[in-house]
Chains A and B, each alone.
Chain A
Amino acid sequence: METIEIKLKNLTKVFQAKNKEETVAVKDFDITIPAGKLVGLLGPSGCGKSTTLYMISGLLKPTQGRIFFGDTDVTDVAPEKRGIGLVFQNYALYPHMTVKQNIMFPLENIKMEKEKALERAYFYARLVGIDHLMNRKPVQLSGGQQQRVAIARALVKEPRVLLLDEPLSNLDARLRLQTREEIKRIQKETGITTIFVTHDQEEAMSISDEIVLMREGIMQQKGAPQQVYDEPGNLFVAKFLGSPPINLFEGEIKDERVMVGDAQLGRVEGKKDQDVIIGVRPEGFKIVERSSLKVKVDYVETIGRDTTLIIEKPVDPTITEHSPYIDEDHQQENDHVEDDMAVDEDMQRLQEEGSIEETAPEKKGTFRAIVDADHRIQPGDEIKLAVKPHKMFLFDKETGELV
């Protein structure tokens, strides 16, 4: 199979509603996806990642910008002529056809010789491990099996590019783990340039050669997963990647020292005094003998390998809660974002109307620190923490950009 790189140049998609209202789904997307790599398009719902994928597939026409497959401009090429395989979020397996017929369908369309087509269909069915299910109907398959049929159907015509739209979102947690390894393996074996879309950062990081983070139609950062995790370019990226999520503190830079209240988290050189948002990865703390960061442990979550401490924030967190930038898109629990938001809104409304009293205990800001399990810590203990410098990031309070 020939591998090609994909180049997107200033790709823009504007949707127009019936009332002429315009929504910019993707804006000036500029990226090169290297040949033979597995790239994850990552972002919260509505960030334009699926739109981008469908523009690459040709099912959506870009408003502006060009798409190149290798050196060929395919922007105006019909989807069927682009040589792509697409796996839909719901797989879109034809329910009235057997697995075999589903996989054969693309080959019959290009009038491939029956025997050769069968051979090819079985080859890819074996590759994804469903060759024993060829005579079943899609409804008789589990979600994971359906997903593999969809992949086989996409691969069978040996496309130059494989596109996957939220390929794992319909699977349960266990299958998800299994299938994502499978996708990685299949991609490795075929060497096909693959782009997949997901809102699950863990999923993207675990299998991608490269991840591309998007937010509100704009690319935020691109790179190898570890690199993006270690060097987030802005607050959004820092918050989006990592589980448990990064801890955020309102703080300041004062005389080249990073301060949260009275506690010093570290030092920076050559930065002027300013208010900042300080992000510290949960694994970025260590317990030390001497530190100005004295904290009280609220809870201890033990999982054996390491221990997560839930700790009161050293300063009044209310400021943080009102910072407009931070309140936005809490994307870590991606699946339930919208519900949560709706509930929050309801709560807020009810509270404003005074119909429910605030019974919840005073909301105290907490943060998480993952420490070695060797430390025997009880809830209520006072400990002293130091911050590993490379796990701490400083962001501009207004723009969220890295300071």
Chain B
Amino acid sequence: MLEDRHDFKAWLYLLPALILLIVFTFYPIINTFMIVFMVDYDFLYGDYTGWTLTGNIQAVLGHRQFWPAIRNTVLIAFVSVPLSVIISLFIAVWLNSIKKLQGAFQTIFFLPYVTNAIAVGLAFAVIFNRDYGLFNYMLSLFGIDPINWVAPGSPWRFSMIALLVFITWNGLAFKIMVFLSGLQSIDKQYYDAARIDSASRSRIFRKITVPLLSPMIAFITITSFIGAFKEYTAIVGMFGEQMGYRGQLITIVGLVYEALGEPYVAGSVSLAASAAIVLFFMTLLLTIFNMWVSKKRVHY
């Protein structure tokens, strides 16, 4: 009896969150899976003309922008995530080791996190401007001719480099915060012990800091990969809605939005759903891989 009542109460407390989750998360997920198998789904009326097993998937795989989107997404994830994790780790270790102005620097490094990505993207677009941007100015000091990073006509590789710099930088703030709080929770005695045992700084970093921080590193890496696979805002912020010159910086989420942007074109919603499902499975696979790695490497 007693337990039943507890059960009821527990469900009651969970109800508000559950309702929201069901309406806005579980139902859309299931619906998306269904739409993948529907022919010419019309989301205004919920009509469709029939079922197909692989039709929509094939349409997505054959889409002109699909492979560029995959290439861009994977590139963004596998370059920006490791880079920003490593850089933020070093910054956090450095921040943790200074005594003066630590609070001030902490604030400065965290500011990007509370700034809108579109706004920051616009700022970066200015920094990477061909004619008056800071970046080209610095290159000019080394005698390098101005490069067109972001404007129309910019070659893919330059646009991509500018984008990666921006995304990497943009991801630092949150990671630094997490790493710093992780570092501050490590018992100082480990460092005293290591010092007495004549461990060099690099060995202390590799053998003590990184392993003790590994739960945070794993968490940050997994969530960052998931975030990077969904990259969209940064590109729009820096390059505009076309996602770069002739859409050359399109990502999978970009593809989804593009398809959804033409809802009256028959089959576009199904196409978007299929792209989303492809992304879902990519993320799932990578996360499983990450978890598998972290099980071996992380010291909880």
Binding site for B on A (CB under 8 A): 57-59, 79-81, 84-86, 88, 90, 92, 94-97, 105-106, 108-110, 153, 157
Contact = CB atoms under 8 A, between A and B. Distances in A.
B189 A88 contact: yes
B197 A105 contact: yes
B212 interface: yes
Contact of B195 (A79, A90, A110, A153): A79
B200 A109 contact: yes
B193 interface: yes
Given A92-B187, A95-B299, A96-B299, A84 B212 contact: no
Contacts of A86: 192-193, 196
B189 A92 contact: yes
Interface stretch (B27-35, B142-150, B203-211, B282-290): B203-211
Given A96-B212, A96-B299, A59 B195 contact: yes
A88 B212 contact: no
Contacts of A106: 197-199
10 contacts: A57-B196, A79-B195, A90-B189, A92-B190, A94-B207, A94-B211, A105-B194, A105-B199, A105-B207, A157-B198
A157 B196 CA distance: 11
Nearest to B190: A92
Contacts of A88: 189, 192-193
Contacts of A57: 196
A106 B197 CA distance: 5
A92 B212 contact: no
B299 A84 contact: no
B211 A80 contact: no
Given A90-B189, A92-B190, A109 B198 contact: yes
A80 B195 contact: yes
B208 A92 contact: no
A94 B299 CA distance: 11
B196 A59 contact: yes
Given A92-B189, A95-B299, A109 B195 contact: no
A92 B198 contact: no
B202 to A, nearest CB: 11
Contacts of A109: 197-200, 203
A96 B198 contact: no
A85 B193 CA distance: 9
Contacts of B207: 94, 97, 105
A59 B193 CA distance: 10
A166 to B, nearest CB: 13
Determine which residue in B192, B196, B211 has the highest number of CB atoms from chain A within 10 A of its CB, and name it: B196
B196 A84 contact: yes
Interface in B165-220: 187, 189-190, 192-200, 203, 207-208, 211-212, 214
Contacts of B190: 92, 94
A97 B211 CA distance: 9
Contacts of B212: 95-96
B14 to A, nearest CB: 34
Contacts of B193: 86, 88, 92, 94
* Closest 8 pairs between A and B when the two form their complex, measured CB to CB: A96-B299, A80-B198, A106-B197, A92-B189, A96-B211, A92-B193, A109-B199, A109-B198
A15 to B, nearest CB: 16
A86 B193 CA distance: 7
A199 B198 CA distance: 29
Contact of B208 (A58, A94, A110, A157): A94
Contacts of B194: 105
A195 to B, nearest CB: 14
Determine which residue in B194, B198, B212 has the highest number of CB atoms from chain A within 10 A of its CB, and name it: B198
A336 to B, nearest CB: 25
Nearest to B188: A92
Contacts of B196: 57-59, 79-80, 84-86
A85 to B, nearest CB: 8
Contacts of A97: 207, 211
